[in-house]
Copies of this chain bind each other. A is one copy, B any other.
Amino acid sequence: MEVNNKYVAIKSNINGAPQESHFEIKVENLSLILEPDSKEVIIKNLFVSIDPYQLNRMKSESSSQAAISYASAITPGEAIDTYGVGRVLVSHQPEFKKDDLVAGLLTWGEYTVVKEGSLLNKLDPLGFPLSNHVGVFGFSGLAAYGGFFEVCKPKPGDKVFVSAASGSIGNLVGQYAKLLRCYVVGSAGSQEKVKLLKETLGFDDAFNYKEETDLKSALKRCFPQGIDVYFDNVGGKMLEAAVANMNLFGRVAICGVISEYTNASTRAAPEMLDIVYKRITIQGFLAADFMKVYADFLSKTVEYLQDGKLKAIEDVSDGVESIPSAFIGLFNGDNIGKKIVKVADE
């Protein structure tokens, strides 16, 4: 038995801002019969994650590509792996049965043939929508939780700044910080996003960075007592401005630097005198580093969501064909919350 598997590929490496013309939708015949000794599992993809870091994998070269397996280079023409949720169609692995829900490394496509040893886990939806397991319970949630609690080491009352605060990770960081009773300010790229942060997510303040002529002054205005923790999703001038406004022993967690992904010339040059004299720590991290706190993250996040103390903000598009524009939109600030593509009905 065979199916047509529609999937997204890049036509060639992408070294600037991604555009529709960089992508193609390919179709392959996929056999649903596995060899008798195969340890593969065939998954029907349901929801897949759309993340900015994929752009670094699409470049001709990036220092990120050698650092960790899931950041490895994407080959033009081939399927692109991504975190997602799906349902088992065929399995020769005893732990996975037909129709099981799973979460793991799928593809930007309709089906995934998951090899033995690749990330795949049975999924208990815990009463939540499946899309939540790509977003708030997926690596975006873990990055927010681990990056904030493990890297930023926040205390109640800390003054916390989050950039790209309406994005997939930023909005959760701000909400976790509020739950810890921090003073939280977010930056975002539109008045609609600013309104979401202040009115729906309970941020103490927020500003539209596109309307600010001087980011240092904007942060000075929002943080008259200085910044203790900066959760950085953007890099560039915002990182410089945050460092200038940080307090003694301030902590900066570098989750991503989206302003630098499409334009390497926007690299941040923070004032090193501030870093020395204010004893600032700047630390990069990846969500995968925090598997040791996953159980803690999951139980707390489930409880917060059930109690209505945390909101899962999602931006869902439909169909494999929507993946390129969903991805491109990340770099234009089109998404509000976690960008997800629904590939098929449950």
- Kindly state the interface size class of chain A when it binds its partner: 35 or more
CA distance A276 to B284 in the complex (A): 4
**Residues on B with beta carbons closer than 8 Å to the beta carbon of A86:** none
Binds B, one of A16-24, A73-81, A267-275, A325-333: A267-275
**Residues on B with beta carbons closer than 8 Å to the beta carbon of A271:** 63, 267
Main secondary structure of the interface of A (DSSP, over half): mixed
Interface residues of A in 249-275 (CB under 8 A from B): 254-257, 260, 267-275
Number of copies: 2
Given A64-B277, A277-B68, A281-B281: A272 and B257 interface contact (C-beta under 8 Å): yes
A282 at the B interface (CB under 8 A): yes
In contact, B257 and A267 (Cβ under 8 angstroms): no
**Residues on B with beta carbons closer than 8 Å to the beta carbon of A192:** none
Smallest CB-CB A-B distances: 5 pairs: A67-B277, A275-B284, A269-B269, A276-B284, A64-B277
What are 16 sample pairs from A and B whose C-beta atoms fall under 8 A apart?
A63-B271, A63-B278, A64-B274, A64-B277, A254-B272, A254-B275, A257-B276, A267-B272, A268-B269, A275-B284, A277-B284, A279-B284, A279-B289, A280-B283, A281-B284, A282-B283
